[in-house]
Amino acid sequence: MFHYLLTQWEQKGWLKGSEYIVKTIVTSYLIDKISISKGVKCFNVLTGFKYIGALMTSMEGKAKFIAGAEESYGYLIGDHVRDKDAVVACTMIAEMCAFYKNKGKTLYEMLLAIYVEFGLYKEELISFTKSGKKGAEEIAEMMTSYRSTPPRSLGGKKVVKLMDYQLSIEKDLLTGLEKPIDLPKSNVLQFITEGENIVSARPSGTEPKIKFYVSVNTPLISVNDFIIKENELELLIQKMKSDLIKTT
């Protein structure tokens, strides 16, 4: 959807250099790569459409909003509201289907073409339930432990960066260099491995769970390699899941 929107804006000459899109930090970073290719700014905000809406409000009169999205399939296209809008999203999907059908292509074929151009990305949400008062304490202890002693590797990939949104610090684990994160404080940690695979740890705000958002990627040279590469990414996710289970 983002690729379609930005491509249409580009072809119609609507991109003037002040346009932007918004997504949450646990939403696929494939979107970031697409926006960079079009010269469009991509903002990453905390989980929840209230943060997307707040950014839109702060940017009024400064830049043009195109679209926003979050990991749990929430979309907003256009600035008529400040929350997810499934009606407009469905309408846009129908438009995309019609557009590509006229070119003899399906949405699936276009998705594969995007993967070849920008890399194959695969995401999975992994949740662990810890019930009761003791469970809440265990989750808090896990986050404290992750914060003070980040895992050295996940799925056999070295962890090279820690994003701590509670302390508002981005730390390079190879050099020790730190820089601030300019977002509201939130009890979220992100472990970034070599190859820019990302595992985000976040206690649920409504359930006795700790959630891990896993995002992995790999180059895709040809659509003929899709199944092989997707299986490789699935195996990597399962290895990461195994590492996370050991720590829970």
- Domain map (residue ranges) of the chain: 2-117, 119-247
Q: Helix or strand or coil: residue 109?
A: helix
Tell how strand 198-203 and strand 157-164 pair up: unpaired
Q: At 207, list the tokens.
A: 């359930």
Element (H, E) at 138: helix 132-148
**Neighbour-count burial for 46-59, b at 16+ CB within 10 Å, e otherwise:** bbebebbbbbbeeb
**100 burial level (CB within 10 Å; 0-12, 13-18, 19+):** middle
Task: For residue 119, give the nearest of 42, 225, 24 by alpha carbon.
Answer: 225
What is 2-117's CATH topology? Alpha-D-Glucose-1,6-Bisphosphate; Chain A, domain 3 (3.40.120)
Query: Closest Cα to residue 233, out of 147, 115, 66, 142?
Result: 115
pLDDT of residue 248: 66
- In order along the chain (248 residues), what is the average pLDDT of each group of 10 residues? 98 96 96 97 95 96 96 92 93 97 97 98 92 86 91 96 97 96 96 96 84 97 98 97 81
For 37-102, the DSSP string reads HHT-EEEEE-SSHHHHHHHHHHTTTTSEEEEEEETTTEEEESSS-SS--HHHHHHHHHHHHHHHHH
Question: Cα separation of 42 and 35, whole Å?
Answer: 6
Query: Residue 154 and residue 193: Cα distance in Å, rounded?
Result: 7
Of residues 55, 71, 72, 70, the one with CA closest to residue 20: 55
Classify domain 119-247 by CATH number. Answer: 3.30.310
- Other Cβ atoms less than 10 A from the Cβ of 225: the count is 16
pLDDT at 185: 96
CA 42 to chain centre: 11
